[in-house]
Structures are given as C-alpha cells and as structure tokens.
Amino acid sequence: MRILVVGAGAIGGYFGGRLLQAGRDVTFLVRPKRAEELARDGLVIKSPNGDVTLKNPPTVQADKLNEKFDVVLLSCKAFDLDDAIKSFASTAIIPLLNGMRHIDVLDDIFGKDRVLGGQCGIAATLDENRHVVQLTPAFQSLGFGERDGVMSNRVRAIAENFAAGNIGSQASANIMQDMWEKWVLLTTLASSTSLMRAAVGHILAAPGGRDFILGVRDECIAVAKAADYPPREAFLSRITGMLTTEGSPLTASMFRDIKAGARVEADHVVGDMIARGDAAKVPVPKLRIAYTHLKAYEKQRA
C-alpha cells in the first residue's frame, strides 16, 4: 500500500515517520525548504516511546507529484488545505485536520466516496532544530473510517497496514462522532488557553476560571447536540476531568502557536463552531469572546 503523507511537521512527521520506520511505503509531500531539511538531517523523532532518525525519507514536491497513491494522510494545517489539495489524487483520503469545515471542501473536489473521516490525538511539536518532539508518551491515536459507519474492505486494509506503526491507529465505525467529540475538546481547550494565555491549571486557580472553562465546554456541547452528534457520557467524563485537574500544565497547540508568533486556525476551529451555533440558534457568548481575541491576534500578527 502506497501512502502519501501531506506535510512533515509535528503530526505528519510523527505518524508518517513511525509508519516509515515500520517498513511501510511512505512518501512525504513537502515544500522545498522542508525537503532540504529532511535531506540534510533526516526525519528526527524524539519521543518517550523511542527516538529515531530516518535518513533520507522519501519526499516529493507538488510540481513533481505525478504518481498515484492508495492512501493520502492529510496532516497539514487547515489554512494550507487549498494549496495541498491541488497536488494529489488518491483512492482514499484520510484528513487529520482540526474541525469539520475541510470535509465539505474535500467532498466538493474529490467526491464523498473518496473522503474518509479521520482524526488524531497527539501532543507533539517541531523544536528549534525542526525535529519532531512528542511531549507525552501515552497520548497518541489515529482514527479513521467510512463516514456512513460501514467497515469497508479499504478501511480494513488501511488498518492492517497501519498497525505495524504502533501509533494507536484504529478503524472506527463511529468516525463522525469521534471527530465531533475531538472538535468539542479542541475548541474548548484552544479558546480557553489562548484567551487566558495560560495552562488549564493556572486558569482554574484564577477567580472564575473553572466556570469559564466549563462554560466554553458547555457551549461546544450544545452545538454538537444541535448537529445531532451529542457527546457520549464516557467522553464527557474524560474531558471534564482533563479540564478540571488542578495544577494541570495542559494547553492547546493554538496557544503554543500564539506564543511562537505563528499562524492559528481561528476560523477553522473556533469560527466554524460559532457559525454552526448561529445556524442552529445556539448561543455561544464565551466562544465569541475567544474568537474576537484570536482575530485581533491575527490582525496584530499581520
């Protein structure tokens, strides 16, 4: 099975790198600068689960992409999606982007039958040396599946191929539910930690902090319910524990991007949640404050 990983940053670099390490046929679609870095230094993964340096990982650039792949693992940021989708064609596309807005974009271009549902969970970043660094050992997962819940032959084949990578990959018969639940958690965490410029533990220690975090969570849950994807009890219990652990160092990658002066997915993560809330007449006042903050950051950065 030929696998094209779009992007070799923290997400694509980790999951694609682990698959390559396991002997799978992986090629990374990257920009020229990243291709130079990988040719010079290799793909370096630093992880509590084991460090590895993959010398000369196979790469390709958009203008040279004329091969066919069985699976595309779409790991770029949402704001890079338009550029990325011009560069490939495939039998099955697994998007690992945040939020839900990208699904409609991919459907319009490639057709619904070629776009699977997908989501991943990992705390990882690129360090100053452009190495992939996994921040917590137990937190890695990659879910995918047919959006209608059917356990198809292609999903089974992908699951079998990915299993050797030991990346927590799993075929799901409820991938849309999984994606919505991840979006609820991500939007809650990104809105709270980015707005407050602080980790969960510091927000909880501030007056009104607990109420604010849980209020954002409740707004996101209400939007998910209106979309007919009410979060399951096990998920609600888990994220409430994550969001109310005193002293927790947990932050969102969006907050870390702000600290680094990088681009953020304000529209794709928070803005789209608000838009869906508006369409369903669900009030989201706390999300609006967080979104205004993020858009102000974008203006300042520009």
Asked about 286 being catalytic, the answer comes back as no
Closest CA to 94 of 111, 78, 72: 72
Kindly report the length of the chain: 302
For residue 49, give Cα distances in angstroms to 149, 153, 159, 276: 32, 31, 21, 38
Q: In sequence order, what DSSP letters do the residues of 183-241 get, joined into one string? A: HHHHHHHHHHHHHHTS-HHHHHHSTTHHHHHHHHHHHHHHHHHHTT-PPPHHHHHHHHH
CB 236 within 8 A of CB 196: no
Q: How far apart are CA 4 and CA 72, in angstroms?
A: 5
Residue 49 to residue 47: CA distance in whole angstroms? 5
Distance CA 63, CA 104 (A): 25
Q: Which one is catalytic: 64, 68, 182, 259?
A: 182
Q: Is residue 193 within 8 Å of 258, Cβ to Cβ?
A: no
Q: CB burial class (10 A; 0-12, 13-18, 19+) of residue 169?
A: buried
Question: Which residues participate in catalysis according to the annotation?
Answer: 182
